[in-house]
Amino acid sequence: MTTLQINDITARQNRAFIVRVATGLREMAVRRAARRALLKLDDRMLKDIGLNRASVMSDLF
């Protein structure tokens, strides 16, 4: 393997890592927005969709 090939592999791995991190951050933002929206609902509305405040605040959601 030449140095150029090693650098190409490293660059691809770095790009893949950055994509994974960006995807994870995006997913966290979506979950956070969904949680905020659900917490704006009253308890009756949460019950109608099969949730309660504890389940919304848990890490399972």
Give the tens place of pLDDT for each residue, 10-31: 888 999 999 999 999 999 999 9
Give the pTM.
0.69
Contact 61, 35 (CB under 8 A): yes
Output the six-digit token pair for 16. Answer: 């893949």
How far apart (Å, rounded) are the C-alpha atoms in residues 20 and 13? 11
In which band, very low, low, confident or very high, does the pLDDT at 8 lie, cut at 50, 70 and 90?
Answer: confident
